[in-house]
Structures are given as structure tokens and as C-alpha cells.
Amino acid sequence: MDAECIEHGSGSVYHGCMKSLLVLVPVVFFCLAPVHAQSLPEGPGKSVFENTCGGCHGADIVIGQTGTRDVWQDTVDSMRSRGALGTDEDFKTIVNYLTTYFGVPVNVNTAAAKELVDNLNLTSAEADAIVKARDKSKFKDYSDLAKVDGLDMKKLDPIKSRIKF
């Protein structure tokens, strides 16, 4: 215990320590709060993931993780074999959600068109348009993709953190 917090009979030091704690505790809580404030991205399948997986796992189990469709499928199959409850459709939805929002990063300047289709959920026409545009000039940042004719940026906005240049 801090020497200043030892009561010397009058109790005034005790009250001083309590005031210090009242100031310190909220500061510590405020500093730690963002660590626990991370949440899952909004999108199709979020509620199914939360309802099916949330009984055993928090969002932290996937936040910061990445994987291919096969990796997420294996993970979901493993959880199912351990007793996770849900329908076949629920588990398919969960794999789609995890693959979309926690899939592998994709470098749009180097990825083959098939990789763009498979990992960014683009159509073949959109992937081909990216390849054609980057052959003329490499993309420097996300805003460069908006200049690609025929590319639906609304599809990419929720997963832009996975797009690399």
C-alpha cells in the first residue's frame, strides 16, 4: 500500500486516497474500454453469426483474423462437430459472412482476375476491368478504384480494409 494512504488516526489521508481512486478508476476504465468496444462489421450474416456462435465466443474470436473460404469452412465444421447448433443454411451463412468480412487481404495490383472474383466477390467483368485498368496504371489507393468503369464500389466499401495496393 502507498505510504500516503496509510491512515494516521485523523482519517484525512484515507479520504485523500479515496479521492485519488475515484479519479484513477474511471481513467483506467476509459483507457481499457476501446479494447472491448470492437464489434463485428455490419452485413448479411452478422446476426446469424452472433446468435449461433455468440453463446460460446465473443467478437474477439474473429476480429483481427483472416482466412480463405476453406479455412473458415474448416473452422465452422470443427465448431459444428463440437456441438454448435444451427441449420445447414445457418452455417453456410456464417462461412459467407466470415469469408466476406474476415477474408484474406487482396492486392488489386497483383491478384489474378480469378483471385479478385473469389476473394472480393466481384463479377468476372468487374475483375477484368480492374486488371485492364491496372495494366495502364497501378492503383495507388482506394480512391483509384472508383475510376474503374463498371466496378460497383458499394460492394467493396464494406471490405475495403482487405484491399491492398
Question: Which of 82, 101, 120 delimits the end of a domain?
Answer: 101
Residue 31 in any domain: the answer is: yes
Whether 123 and 89 map to the same domain: the answer is: no
Whether 149 and 131 map to the same domain: the answer is: yes
Whether 133 and 158 map to the same domain: the answer is: yes
Whether 116 and 146 map to the same domain: the answer is: yes
Whether 59 and 96 map to the same domain: the answer is: yes
CA dihedral sign, ordered 131, 149, 155, 92: negative
Residue 41 in any domain: the answer is: no
Q: How confident is the model at residue 4 (pLDDT cuts 50, 70, 90)?
A: very low
From 127, 156, 126, select the one nearest 143 (Cα to Cα): 156
Residue 85 in any domain: the answer is: yes
From 142, 66, 55, select the one nearest 107 (Cα to Cα): 142
Could you tell me the residue range of the domain that residue 28 belongs to?
A: 3-36
Asked if residues 49 and 94 have their Cβ atoms less than 8 Å apart, the reply is yes
- Does pTM top 0.85 for this prediction? no
Question: Which of 101, 119, 143 delimits the end of a domain?
Answer: 101
Q: How confident is the model at residue 13 (pLDDT cuts 50, 70, 90)?
A: low
Domain count across the chain? 3
What CATH number has the domain bearing residue 84?
1.10.760
Whether 125 and 150 map to the same domain: the answer is: yes
Whether 64 and 94 map to the same domain: the answer is: yes
Q: How confident is the model at residue 136 (pLDDT cuts 50, 70, 90)?
A: very high
Whether 127 and 152 map to the same domain: the answer is: yes
Query: Over the stretch 58-81, which tens digit does the pLDDT of each residue have?
Result: 999 999 999 999 999 999 999 999
